[in-house]
Structure 1
Amino acid sequence: MIATTRWAIPALLAVSTAAFAGYDGDKKMSGGYGDKPESVVAVAMSSDAHSTLVTAVKAADLVGTLQGEGPFTVFAPTNAAFDALPDGTVDSLLEPANQEKLQGVLTYHVVAGKLKAKDVLAAIEKGDGEAMVETVAGGSLAVSLDDGKVVITDAQGGTATVTATDLRAKNGVVHVIDTVLMP
């Protein structure tokens, strides 16, 4: 859901090309080109760079949910983003006893609705440089531009940069990010 100053959905195409031009991406990711995968999960599964995310989604028992009708917007951290977490964090989150916490972290990366790059940029423009978006987990993310790149700020003040956008699925869209967001 998008709140008043949050996203004003529509002007990001002009910025999105420049903001994401540096991403050379995983060629196996088919989301933005050719056939659309069945789900946002299938987009992640088609990418070697997202195997940790896929493992986490399975451990959190969220595959069925993210294969649902949607639409969903997923900010998908890469394996490198998970590797940058403090030692032991991923292993701890993957333990069955921490499934609820893992679900909270993962659903903090999901927004109800389909927000393409142009929608994000339009919202940032309408919000005078910042847009707030509500996650499925119930938290908020601040989205802004920094040196022509879309940056997402989480509840703890951590930031992630969007490195690829608009990887399309039948039930939504995936945007690749370089940092795991924390609720």
Structure 2
Amino acid sequence: MKTPIALVLLAIVAALGLADDKKTDDKTIAEVAMGSKDFSTLIDAVKAAELTDAFKGDGPITVFAPTNAAFEKLGKDKLAELHANKKKLAEVLLSHVVKGKVTAEDVKKLKGKDLDTMGSKFAVRTNADAITVGGANVTKTDIVCKNGIIHVIDGVLIPDELK
């Protein structure tokens, strides 16, 4: 179980560096992660799930990284409930990670099908201008790091069995 947790941490922490458009392909997801304040709630969740020690995965992985605003949509009660159950929180975090490099074009090809994450499956909807995964809009795509890809989303992916 350590490998998936390592992948999750890399994926989750990766989201931190997404606010600027600096070159990222020469950095790991973890290195990219340290540059943004827009993902502090995600980092807090990683810490609460005790995934911090898993910071050393090589990937490749793809992360669908929710912003602080995405977590705010859950509401304080739901967020507190997740933080109170580390196993459930880890499962939710794993639901944002896909093994391998999955580009936006790869996701678009899944239109009408499910995206298989490390925690669940989520329906993919696309049109010419947008990609939606599990009801969350992908707001920024294809942030390429040397050990994976990051896509920013505006919602938190929670498997049906954990709702």
Report the TM-score, using the length of structure 2 for normalisation: 0.77
Q: 1:79-99 CA distances to partner (integer Å, 9 max, x unpaired)?
A: 00001112322233223xx11
**What is the correspondence of 1:1-183 to structure 2 with a 5 Å cutoff?**
26-27=19-20, 30=22, 33-34=23-24, 36-39=26-29, 41-65=30-54, 67-95=56-84, 98-121=85-108, 123-124=109-110, 129-137=111-119, 139-146=120-127, 148-153=129-134, 159-183=135-159
Larger Rg: 1
Bigger RCO (CA 8 Å, 6+ sep): 1
Counterparts of 1:116 and 1:68 in 2: how far apart (Å)? 19
Counterparts of 1:60 and 1:118 in 2: how far apart (Å)? 31
Report the TM-score, using the length of structure 1 for normalisation: 0.69
Quote the sequence identity (%). 42
The runs of 5 or more residues in structure 1 that have no matched partner are 1-24, 154-158
Q: What amino acid sits opposite 1:163 in the alignment?
A: T
How many residues are matched? 142
- Kept in 1, the 8 Å contact 2:143–2:151? The answer is yes
Supply the RMSD in Å over aligned alpha carbons: 2.0
Deviation at 1:74, TM superposition (A): 0.4
Which structure is higher in helix share?
2
- Kept in 1, the 8 Å contact 2:24–2:144? The answer is no
- Kept in 2, the 8 Å contact 1:72–1:173? The answer is yes
Q: What amino acid sits opposite 1:113 in the alignment?
A: G
| Distance change (3 Å), C-alpha of 1:166 and 1:134 | same
SS in 1 for 2:65: strand
